[in-house]
């Protein structure tokens, strides 16, 4: 049976929206989740948190007329919990079956697909340059983007294709014109929204060094070289070439206050170096990353904020709720930033996590070499991003 092809339950089942579940988790409320997906899907990607208790029992365990005692023994008896699946069909059926057994249970609307549609904008309050900077946060994958606006103009950095309309709607609501859509590099974990925004009349910007990877649409874009600047109202966005994660990896310094580092440096880790040239090219890329961090990033003032394109479960948000941190603080708490080159390379290569799901299709799609419709693009990027090296080995105490 298809896990989403289930009959309507015989009893009413209360539902919870993804935004409501996120609000519960963010408030610190204890949340219990019964994840009814297959074990392999659960191990790869699930909703987690310090106040989240997660139980995995696949949906097929609930198909018999009588649920086994072994299954029921795994469930909390005196706590309300939420059942989820991939798209919401199996979870509603499972929840209905458990309600008939006397459990206090609801189900998550649209399942993990609905969870992947959450996209939150949070102001970076510590940014002290001109204009305003918002950080977009996608909790399902840890993707981060940035929206800069001032004096009637705006730019979005690292936009996601799935949220193309969101950027345009936010610009309209703020009373500004979205003038630039900027990518830091050729992403391996999600489908870029730059080309879709160009189709909507926005000027697209990609790093000039990324073109050699085989970008097919370079003539439709403004190509950013090291030192180039883009003006958004009174805000200057400066291009800073920062290779290592990829050969074209480029950061953007906003108002001399916030460096959006793409996948080069995160607040809890540094980039993995193997997604462009594979294992054979990873040592050379790791050396390049070391030189970039030491010569181009860590030479900036200590109070310069770092904002990467991702965050992981190991990341702790700042007081304003954003995943940003001053360079000086990162040097204090991340041992990897104080190593010499040989030690750094050895550490980065010693404990690489699995590569992002579907990266072999996502990269050519972002290069323009392969096509994907909106539904296919959304499905490709479901799951963890895995664009960082192992956080456990890089962070200090």
- CATH no. for residue 52? 3.40.250.10
CB within 8 Å of 69: residues ≥ 6 apart:
none
User: 136, 122, 115, 133: which is closest to 31 by C-alpha?
Assistant: 115
Kindly tell me if the per-residue pLDDT of 395 is higher than 70.
no
Average pLDDT of the chain is: 93
The CA distances from residue 65 to 90, 97, 233, in Å, are 15, 9, 65
Are 191 and 381 a contacting pair, CB within 8 Å? yes
Q: For residues 49 and 188, state if they share a domain.
A: no
Residue found under tokens 């018999």: 64
Are 67 and 34 a contacting pair, CB within 8 Å? no
Cα–Cα distance measured from residue 194 to residue 156, given in angstroms and rounded to the nearest whole number: 9
Q: For residues 111 and 124, state if they share a domain.
A: no
pLDDT at 7: 66
- Answer yes or no: is 203 within a domain: yes
Cα–Cα distance measured from residue 269 to residue 195, given in angstroms and rounded to the nearest whole number: 29
CB within 8 Å of 23: residues ≥ 6 apart:
none
Beta strand ranges found along 77-220 (DSSP E): 81-84, 105-108, 120-123, 132-138, 143-150, 153-157, 177-182, 203-207
Kindly tell me if the per-residue pLDDT of 200 is higher than 90.
yes
- Answer yes or no: is 8 within a domain: no
Indicate the pLDDT class of residue 382, thresholds 50, 70 and 90.
confident
Using the 3D structure, point to which of 115, 130, 161 is the last residue of a domain. Answer: 115
- Answer yes or no: is 296 within a domain: yes
Are 307 and 324 a contacting pair, CB within 8 Å? yes
Return the SS3 of 36: coil
Structure tokens at 188: 């391996």
Average pLDDT on 217-223 reads 98
pLDDT at 396: 43
Q: For residues 268 and 380, state if they share a domain.
A: yes
Kindly tell me if the per-residue pLDDT of 188 is higher than 80.
yes
Are 87 and 110 a contacting pair, CB within 8 Å? yes
Enclosing domain of residue 215:
120-394
Q: How many CA atoms lie within 13 A of 142 on its CB side?
A: 29
Indicate the pLDDT class of residue 125, thresholds 50, 70 and 90.
very high
Q: Give 283 or 393, the one with higher predicted confidence.
A: 283
Choice among 6-20, 45-59, 379-393 with the minimum mean pLDDT: 379-393
Q: For residues 39 and 131, state if they share a domain.
A: no
Q: For residues 354 and 329, state if they share a domain.
A: yes
Helices then strands, counting H and E runs in the chain, come out as 13, 18
Q: For residue 53, count other CB atoms closer than 10 A to its CB.
A: 14
pLDDT at 393: 43
Query: What are phi and psi for residue 99, nearest 5 degrees?
Result: -60, -40
Average pLDDT on 192-199 reads 98
Q: For residues 81 and 62, state if they share a domain.
A: yes
pLDDT digits (tens, 9 = 90+) for 257-266: 999 999 999 9
Kindly tell me if the per-residue pLDDT of 287 is higher than 60.
yes
Indicate the pLDDT class of residue 286, thresholds 50, 70 and 90.
very high
Q: Which of 16, 57, 85, 160 is catalytic?
A: 85
The CA distances from residue 232 to 4, 85, 278, in Å, are 46, 42, 37
Q: Give 301 or 10, the one with higher predicted confidence.
A: 301
Helix residue ranges, H only, the chain: 18-26, 39-44, 69-72, 89-100, 111-115, 164-174, 194-199, 278-292, 327-333, 341-350, 359-367, 374-380, 391-394
pLDDT at 397: 35
Average pLDDT on 10-24 reads 92
143 is catalytic: no
Q: For residues 81 and 187, state if they share a domain.
A: no
Indicate the pLDDT class of residue 2, thresholds 50, 70 and 90.
low
Using the 3D structure, point to which of 71, 94, 115 is the last residue of a domain. Answer: 115
Q: Percent of the chain beyond pLDDT 90?
A: 83
Residue found under tokens 């696949």: 58
Indicate the pTM of the whole model.
0.92
pLDDT at 236: 98
Structure tokens at 57: 């029992």
Q: Give the DSSP letter string of 244-272.
A: SSSTT-EEEEETTTEEEEETSB-SS-BB-
Q: For residues 89 and 157, state if they share a domain.
A: no
Residue 270's DSSP bridge partners are 265
Q: For residues 106 and 230, state if they share a domain.
A: no
The CA distances from residue 348 to 6, 45, 71, 265, 273, in Å, are 46, 23, 42, 13, 8
Choice among 106-115, 124-133, 351-360 with the minimum mean pLDDT: 351-360
Number of domains in the chain: 2
Indicate the pLDDT class of residue 1, thresholds 50, 70 and 90.
low
User: 264, 274, 258: which is closest to 242 by C-alpha?
Assistant: 264
- Answer yes or no: is 4 within a domain: no
Using the 3D structure, point to which of 92, 115, 138 is the last residue of a domain. Answer: 115
3-state secondary structure 60-82: HHHCCCCCCHHHHCCCCCCCCEE
């Amino acid at each position: 049976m298809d896990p989403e092809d289930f009959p309507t339950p015989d009893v009413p089942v209360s539902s919870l929206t993804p935004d409501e579940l996120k609000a519960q988790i963010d408030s610190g409320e204890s949340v219990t989740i019964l994840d009814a997906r297959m074990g392999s899907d659960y191990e790869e990607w699930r909703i987690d948190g310090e106040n989240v208790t997660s139980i995995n029992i696949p949906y097929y365990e609930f198909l018999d007329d009588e649920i086994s005692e072994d299954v029921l023994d795994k469930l909390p008896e005196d706590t309300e919990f939420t059942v989820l699946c991939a798209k919401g069909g199996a979870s509603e059926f499972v929840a209905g079956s458990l309600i008939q057994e006397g459990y206090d249970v609801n189900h998550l609307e649209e399942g993990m697909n609905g969870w992947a549609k959450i996209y939150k904008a949070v102001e970076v309050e510590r940014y002290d340059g001109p204009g305003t900077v918002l950080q977009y946060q996608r909790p399902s994958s840890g993707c981060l983007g940035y929206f800069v606006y001032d004096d009637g103009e705006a730019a979005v950095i690292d936009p996601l294709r799935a949220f193309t309309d969101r950027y345009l709607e936010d610009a309209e609501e703020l009373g500004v014109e979205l003038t630039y859509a900027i990518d830091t590099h050729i992403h391996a974990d999600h489908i870029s929204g730059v080309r879709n925004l160009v189709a909507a009349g926005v000027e697209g910007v990609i790093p000039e060094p990324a073109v050699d990877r085989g970008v097919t649409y370079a003539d439709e874009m403004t190509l950013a070289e090291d030192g180039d600047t883009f003006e958004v109202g009174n805000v200057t966005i400066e291009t800073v070439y920062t290779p290592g994660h990829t050969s074209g990896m480029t950061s953007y310094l906003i108002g001399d206050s916030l460096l959006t580092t793409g996948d080069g440096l995160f607040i809890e880790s540094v980039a993995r170096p193997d997604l462009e040239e594979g294992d054979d090219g990873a040592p050379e890329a790791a050396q390049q990353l070391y030189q970039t961090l030491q010569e181009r990033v860590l030479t900036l003032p200590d109070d310069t904020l770092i904002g990467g394109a991702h965050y992981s479960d190991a990341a702790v948000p700042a007081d304003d709720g954003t995943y940003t941190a001053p360079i000086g603080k990162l040097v204090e708490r991340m041992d990897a930033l104080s190593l010499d080159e040989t030690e750094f390379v050895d550490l980065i290569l010693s404990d690489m996590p699995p590569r992002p799901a579907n990266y072999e299709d996502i990269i050519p799609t972002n290069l323009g070499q392969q096509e994907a419709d909106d539904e296919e693009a959304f499905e490709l990027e479901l799951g963890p991003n895995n664009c960082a090296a192992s956080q456990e080995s890089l962070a200090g105490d």
